[in-house]
Amino acid sequence: MFNKNDMKIAKLGEPVLRKKAKKIKDIQSIETQKLISAMLTCVKKSNGVGLAAPQIFISKQIMIISSKPNARYPHAPHMEDTVIINPKIIKTSKAMTKDWEGCLSIPGIRAKVPRFNKIKIQYETREGQIERRTFKGFIARVFQHEYDHLIGLVFIDRVETTKDIITEEVYFRTI
């Protein structure tokens, strides 16, 4: 069902990006495990720091955080690949920071997006275990960006003014 080499990224305008993703009921199924493996491959090949299943046309509550410095995010902190299934945000900081984001589903665009500085979440692991973690800074931003994909939003939905949207070409000249 999931050919790792043929993964296509859903682009802005595809209906799947505006749907609320369905909860995963059987994490240990072969289908779910193959989907996770395919997503891990896809996020690496595309130089992303995160990927949500709706971005590959699968409306299910799975996301990957794969933060490592790469061509698209040269200053990303290194974090072990983390598979997050059926996530819930438990608590957020009051403080928010506006910073640059990009998205594999909206190529060529960057925008300043306000996000919570710190979040506490609960989710299920690839093995079906319940985990609670606190993310802050860049990783918290990546989580919130991917979580938005699970609830039918994209990062430009959160932009406060169109003056905060630029092309990636301009963005890379300014960092």
Domain that holds residue 42: 4-174
What CATH number is attached to the domain comprising 113? 3.90.45.10
pLDDT tens track for 35-68: 999 999 999 999 999 999 999 999 999 999 999 9
For 91-121, what is each residue's pLDDT tens digit?
999 999 999 999 999 999 999 999 999 999 9
- Residue 137's H or E segment, with its range, is helix 137-150
* Residue (of 118, 121, 146, 160) closest to 60 by Cα position: 146
Number of domains comprising the chain: 1
103 is an annotated ligand-binding site residue: yes
Q: Examine the residue annotation and report whether 146 is marked as an active-site residue of this protein.
A: yes
Q: Is 75 annotated as a binding residue?
A: no
CA distance 174 to 164: 14
Confirm or deny that 145 is annotated as ligand binding. Answer: yes
Catalytic member of 146, 160, 168, 169: 146
Opening angle at CA 35, ends 156 and 119, nearest 5: 45
Instruction: State both tokens at 89.
Output: 């945000």
Residue found under tokens 């080499």: 5
The string of pLDDT tens digits covering residues 1-31 is 555 556 899 999 999 999 999 999 999 999 9
Is residue 108 within 8 A of residue 89, CB to CB? The reply is no
Taking the model in full, what pTM does it have?
A: 0.95
